[in-house]
Amino acid sequence: MATAANTTTPLSQSEPASLGRRIVALIPGLLLLAAVGYAGKFIEQSIAAYTKSHHITFPNIEYVLWAIVIGLLISNTVGVPRVFQPGVATYEFWLKAGIVLLGSRFLLGDVLHLGGISLLLVAVALTLSLTFMHILGRTFKLKPKLTSLLAVGSSICGVSAIIAAKPAIDADDEDASYAIAAILALGAISLFTFPLIGHSLHLSDKAYGLWAGLAVDNTAEATAAGALYSDAAGKVAVLAKTSRNALIGFIVLGYAIYWASRGQAQAVTNKAEFLWRKFPKFVLGFLLISLLATLSFFSKPQLASIANLSRWAFLLTFAGVGLRTSFRELGKQGWRPFAVGAIGEVFIALVTLGLVYGADRFLHL
């Protein structure tokens, strides 16, 4: 399942199928996403109600974890039948819609403050991690373009960055598949390790959210890793990750120019057009909703409704994260890209943790 094909949705496919048929094809998978996500919510609520009524002290396990675990169980036992796959692949669509709607929970001032800090930290982490990944790639004798894809994926924003970079640097499909598989596998591991580390270090919601947003690669996993810690941490993780995503065009452009200068990719003729095409448009939607909320365009109950719509969209996303992760498929991709990605990830996680500690102390998050 860990191929580039999984990251596209039928909404943007150009196959000669009628729009009606394509929409109908989405329904089974959408229902599966909703069932898995709602089952996670139901389990969380049932455990909370049971422990409360029996006066048992038990940590609240967020629906996020249950939804992901149920999804993982399905995809790694019976598998996701073909009829469900188009709908399941829409999880990234719901993620982006959810992020835009989440803008309603931020005043623009907070976005600029936290987003500015995030961008500053991203710039430092990016420089260090890109350099480190290239050294690692050379040490492990990976193909240079595969190293570029892994560096882009692990330092900027996961699968989307790899997909954006692949045509720009004219990389092989095989390299892109390896890089995507490594990033997806590492994202799945981050989901479970980050909250544990955050709790053991007693990080505040803001510090943890910033760390998850800066260090976890894929936007879906970063959102889930944040939400697994707390609702407030999830909010900050999305904001930090969105700031990171905004840089995707610049990094991909840098790589495109580098590989073109070596005669191994086509030169970029119109840089402004290139940047706009690679820019994630949902960042603009997020800023627009945040601006509207700041200008009191919505009443308080309306803001609550929009925030809840965002939660429902994320519920579908988290179900999709579990359903699209097949450990067997990920294991087929070879150990070297995974090793380079894993060592790079540990490095990035440590660097960003240090940066977040520093920011918490000196920039007052």
- Listed ranges 4-12, 182-190, 204-212, 216-224: which one lies at the site for other proteins (CB under 8 A): 4-12
Provide DSSP, 160-188.
Answer: HHHHHHHHHHT--HHHHHHHHHHHHHHHH
For residue 216, give the nearest of 156, 164, 176 by alpha carbon: 156
Which letter does DSSP use for residue 317 in this model? H
Nearest alpha-carbon partner for 224 in 29, 14, 40? 40
Residue with tokens 């709790």: 199
14 is a contact residue toward other proteins (CB under 8 A)? yes
Q: What is the DSSP letter of 141?
A: T
Q: Is residue 200 a contact residue for other proteins (CB under 8 A)?
A: no
Among 23, 34, 39, 309, binds other proteins (CB under 8 A): 309
* Cβ pair 145, 133 in contact under 8 A: no
Using N-to-C axis directions, what is the helix angle for 158-169 and 271-278, rounded to 10°? 150
- Min. distance of Cβ 271 from other proteins in angstroms? 9
User: Is position 162 an interface residue for other proteins (rule: CB under 8 A)?
Assistant: no
- Count, residues near other proteins per rule CB under 8 A: 47
Q: 329: which residues sit within 8 A by CB, 6+ positions away? A: 1, 2, 181
311 touches other proteins (CB under 8 A): yes
Q: Residue 297 phi/psi, 5° resolution?
A: -65, -30
Could you tell me the smallest distance in angstroms from the CB atom of residue 22 to other proteins? 12
Using rule CB under 8 A, residue 285 touches other proteins: yes
Where in 17-46 is the site for other proteins (CB under 8 A)?
A: none
292 contributes a contact to other proteins by CB under 8 A: yes
Range 222-281, binding other proteins (CB under 8 A):
256, 265-266, 268-270, 273-274, 277, 280-281
Q: Which listed range, 79-87, 144-152, 168-176, 187-195, lies at the site for other proteins (CB under 8 A)?
A: 168-176
Please state, in angstroms and rounded to a whole number, the distance separating the CA atoms of residues 274 and 265: 14
Closest contact distance (angstroms) between CB of 94 and other proteins is 8
Distance CA 92, CA 302 (A): 25
Alpha-carbon gap, residue 150 to 338, rounded angstroms = 9
301: contact with other proteins by CB under 8 A:
yes
Work out the burial of residue 307: count CB atoms within 10 Å of its CB; fewer than 13 is exposed, 13-18 middle, 19 or more buried. Answer: middle
Binding other proteins (rule: CB under 8 A), the pick from 112, 297, 331, 361 is 297
Measure the CA–CA gap between 233 and 228, rounded to whole angstroms. Answer: 8
Contact indicator for 130, 149 with CB cutoff of 8 Å? no
Name the residue nearer to other proteins (CB basis): 139 or 266: 266
Question: Least CB distance from residue 8 to other proteins, whole Å?
Answer: 8
Task: Select the residue interacting with other proteins from 146, 289, 321, 359 (CB under 8 A).
Answer: 289
In whole angstroms, how close is the CB of 147 to other proteins at the nearest point? 19
Would you say 48 or 304 has its CB closer to other proteins?
Answer: 304
Choices 87-95, 108-116, 216-224, 232-240 (CB under 8 A): range interacting with other proteins: 87-95
Dihedral over Cα of 40, 41, 45, 51: its sign: positive
Question: Does 101 sit near other proteins (CB under 8 A)?
Answer: yes
Q: Is 96 in the site for other proteins (CB under 8 A)?
A: yes
62 binding other proteins? (CB under 8 A): no
In this structure, the dihedral spanned by the alpha carbons of residues 222, 204, 37 and 71, taken in order and rounded to 10 degrees, is 50
* Closer Cβ to other proteins, 98 or 187, answer by number: 98
Q: How far apart are CA 282 and CA 267, in angstroms?
A: 27
Which of 288, 346, 350, 363 is close enough to bind other proteins by CB under 8 A? 288
Binding site for other proteins (CB under 8 A): 8-9, 11-12, 14, 92-98, 100-101, 104, 167-170, 256, 265-266, 268-270, 273-274, 277, 280-282, 284-285, 288-289, 292, 297-298, 301-302, 304-306, 308-309, 311-312
